[in-house]
Amino acid sequence: MAHLNLFVVLVASLVCFTLAEEKYTTKFDNFDVDKVLNNNRILTSYIKCLLDEGNCTNEGRELRKVLPDALKTDCSKCTEVQKDRSEKVIKFLIKNRSTDFDRLTAKYDPSGEYKKKIEKFDSEKAAAAKH
């Protein structure tokens, strides 16, 4: 579960590629996440872009720019739609592309700082769900 929220940022970024003053833009809230997840070529392209291993589309470049901020702010600028889609992408990556997920985590959270915050959040979320 800790991996799930750690990468909330990835999906939030896929859904919202540019920053607004208070929240990330909702311009991409209708972004077809399933289309990306179900197309290995497109998903691989986004992953390579984020890892600086391949070319980026304009959206990929913006995603790469937003991701560190989203981690730093605990996705506080994400909308609920973006958070929900982020969770979906994270679950998918953990289940189907765990090596890529680990590589992304190593790049964007090498110290484990954000992972600790996410683990705390997961624990609190699990405790709240029990009540």
- The answer to whether residue 15 is domain-embedded is no
* Own/partner pairs, 26-34, CB within 8 angstroms, 24+ separation: 26/79, 26/81, 28/59, 29/79, 29/81, 29/82, 31/85, 33/85, 33/88, 33/89
- The answer to whether residue 122 is domain-embedded is yes
| Count of domains observed in the chain | 1
- The answer to whether residue 88 is domain-embedded is yes
- The answer to whether residue 115 is domain-embedded is yes
Domain span holding position 47: 25-129
Q: How far is CA 67 from CA 46, 64, 103, in A?
A: 12, 5, 14
pTM (predicted TM-score): 0.72
> What's 107's domain CATH number?
1.10.2080.10
Q: What is the mean pLDDT of each run of 10 residues along the chain (131 residues)?
A: 53 53 75 91 95 88 83 86 82 90 91 74 77 71
